[in-house]
Structure 1
């Protein structure tokens, strides 16, 4: 609380021309990075859980590994849409906290919980309806036979996963990210332990193979929900913002607000991921070497992207709080300081990762694959990935800043245009029309993300300046 007062005092002096704006800028930047650190670590933890699952299932055999990949591919679209949908909880809670409206925060948490649970159950129903038609996806017969039980368990686990995501967003938006981070990281460790028990048949359990991985995921995610609920109900830091009655009367307007915020964000995420899926398909048409090199470069870029993504998540919270908690010139000054701090952190880290990709790309590729042809092509792609990282970090921070202020519809359309109006067609032209092959696909993606960075950056800068006229 004392730290927040120092931020506010700095804002007031800078806004009236009585204090050093540069010093206040670093106060805001420090607050952003302190919030971002557990969010970055949480994203890396989630990636490690996916790696652990892949390794542990892979030891059972090729067919179970292929079946898990097939199931996770089917669940990826509803999962990512859910991520976007529940970002609305972050926005509403941050704005309510900034305006000191306790009831708004409580309504956002309660309605967000039911929205998460309802969406998770809808996904389960859709998966149940899909299971009889799994043979229509062109997968090998052994894979189709192996996948249904695991797919259903993984789908059911999305119910607690969605609720956990909503509650984690709530904690982040209250600037209390460390406890949810610790609980989620403990869930990752528990998932690995349960995998060891159920997949391989340890501690008296039968060896369930792939189905055991499904049970492990379901139980671990359920345990995370239980731990987060105890935290919500008992922690003095958040209990004043948590609803006393979870079964209180629903407000249609609150659901409508959450959907109006969350649906465009979900669609924007799907558009972005879909453009990368299209790029992978184009790579596949160029041959195995190109596809393998693409996967190597994408893996390196994805890991380093966790840092600007964590900063972007923190920016959503801080912009939401500032947009509701201040007004007039002071609002403009604080919003722009937060935004500039986010851009500075993003550019600083992506500049470092770009340097690493350019100078040590060959070494990085050699740690992932052994084939000289793949290493050679991946080395060239990692140079492009360095440029790609710079604009990707900028665009995700700008987009997240707009979300924090509740501006989601136009940014979603700008993103869809950049991904599908620029990146995908340009990638196709450069790869096949101009004959640049794999390099052309990555240059097309980089140019599309650069377009998104420019469009979204211009919009967020204009939006944060509108209070000058209000």
Structure 2
């Protein structure tokens, strides 16, 4: 067990540091914009919720490359990895066009929130700026998927840390103004992200074509047009993965849209609680990437029993760490919230929500680590159905009933944002337990089949 944990941690810590650097983008944006104005903070919360939904849904499709490349790497089929990368870049281009349209014309989504005109205009400006950076983000996801698949997450981590070092001074200049640049508020942090995303994409592509680690894959050896058979294989796995990501993130996005109806104070408190939850989420996410890589490589090498053991140990590790994090957050709750804002009303709103975040995180860790394990087996459809029932049905539907007190029976403490967070907590518990039992079924069935049967298990 300890040998497996050591392998997992060796791959997970660079992913964690890199992901913390990326999530620090959101934390920095929230903290800095919160000190600019409450309106800009509310626009950031609403706009980032919409952007993340689009971004996660589209990049989720591209994550199909990671288990495919990891299994090929475990089987030493290196040339095929290069072909999969080339096809993934074509797919990223098509997805970028779709995402650009949604972000540049966000009016249908903003109509759901029924936001005041000033908030609506500020959010629209924020999203239109980010729409031009989406193609770069998708290209960088292809780079990150390949690096993680072959067990080289440090190549991603270094770039993400470098981006963070640039982010703070750019934010300061563009949000608050200086050097002849006017104070832009929330849209300023979007401009900073735009510049950084394109820098990351260009450097990532340069490394894919020049770094010796990627040389065996011959990624730039030849030009190719989209191969529809390979595109179909990517989409067969990627579409359910993207949909599962989309379900997960839209359950949070629509929470923000509905919570907007309770006013900017409630939305700002929700944004702070969401940021803390997102920071906590980075540890099980990083463990999930590491475990998925190791499990997929073991499956590619024909070691199904080792893959099952690695998965089990990874799940136990993620849940144990989540419990430790929960205790720490509750102890530091007053200081954590005050680091985001000095507004007493927002602090009061966020305090009750952070208590729910602690319990929420334990089940969040369980579901994310188990979902990543299933992806290593190239299994995506049933987990997506579990997500839909739990997160949309129980989480979002139940949150709407509680938050708006449709039955007239909701306690006062659970009306508004707390009702949405409680329902989401319950939905994650259902999803996590459901995915765990389904993984046990899949792994047991896999042990009874030949190793190559993984290609036919995408259910």
Structure 2 Cα separation of the partners of residues 373 and 119 of structure 1 = 41
Correspondence for 1:250: 226
**1:316–1:404 Cα contact (<8 Å) kept:** yes
Q: Is 1:75 matched with 2:51? A: yes
Match of 2:425 among 446, 450, 462: 446
Change (3 A) 1:66 1:93: same
Q: Mark the CA change 1:349 to 1:100 in structure 2 (over 3 Å): closer, same or farther.
A: same
1: CA distance, partners of 2:356 / 2:243: 27
Q: Which whole-Å CA distance do the structure 2 matches of 1:107 and 1:324 have between them? A: 17
| Equivalent residues in 2 for 1:107-256, closer than 5 Å | 107-128=83-104, 138-142=114-118, 151-197=127-173, 202=178, 206-207=181-182, 209=184, 213-245=189-221, 247-256=223-232
Q: 2:324 maps to what in 1?
A: 352
| Matched positions, count | 441
Give the C-alpha shift of residue 263 in structure 1: 1.5
Match of 2:410 among 426, 435, 439: 435
Distance 2:330 2:124 in 1: 43
Q: Could you tell me whether the CA contact under 8 Å between 2:390 and 2:430 is conserved in 1?
A: yes
Q: Partner of 2:213: helix, strand, or coil?
A: coil
Task: Tell me how far apart the structure 2 counterparts of residues 461 and 309 of structure 1 sit (CA, whole Å).
Answer: 20
Gaps of 5+ in 1: 1-24
Q: Is the 8 Å Cα contact of residues 113 and 167 (structure 1) preserved in structure 2?
A: no
RMSD between superposed Cα atoms in Å: 3.4
Tell me if structure 2 keeps the 8 A contact 1:110–1:246. no
1:406 aligns to what SS in structure 2?
coil
Note closer, same or farther for the CA distance 1:265–1:358 as it changes in structure 2 (3 Å cut): same
Structure 1 residues 171 and 271, CA gap change in structure 2 (3 angstroms): same
The one of 378, 391, 413 equivalent to 2:385 is 413
1:99 matched residue in structure 2: 75
Contact 2:295 2:308 (C-alpha < 8 Å) held by counterparts: no
Moved more, 289-298 or 445-454: 289-298
Q: In 2, Cα distance between the equivalents of 1:64 and 1:294?
A: 14
TM, length-normalised to structure 1: 0.82
Residue 87 of structure 1 corresponds to 63
From the superposition, tell whether residues 384 and 103 of structure 1 become closer, same or farther in structure 2 (CA, over 3 Å): same
Q: Shift of residue 188 of structure 1?
A: 2.7
Deviation at 1:127, TM superposition (A): 4.1
What is the DSSP-based 3-state SS (H/G/I as helix, E as strand, rest coil) of the residue aligned with 1:244?
coil
Whether the aligned pair in 1 keeps the contact of 2:50 and 2:253 (CA below 8 Å) is: no
2:45–2:268 CA contact under 8 A, matched in 1: no
Structure 2, unaligned runs of 5 or more: 450-459
| Alpha-carbon contact 2:31-2:339 (below 8 Å) kept | no
Please say if 1:424 is aligned against 2:401.
no
SS in 1 for 2:202: helix
- Distance in 2 of aligned mates of 1:299 and 1:133: 21
1:397 to 369, 382, 386: 369
Q: Which moved more, 1:58-67 or 1:264-273?
A: 58-67
How far residue 125 of structure 1 moved from its aligned partner, in angstroms, is 3.7
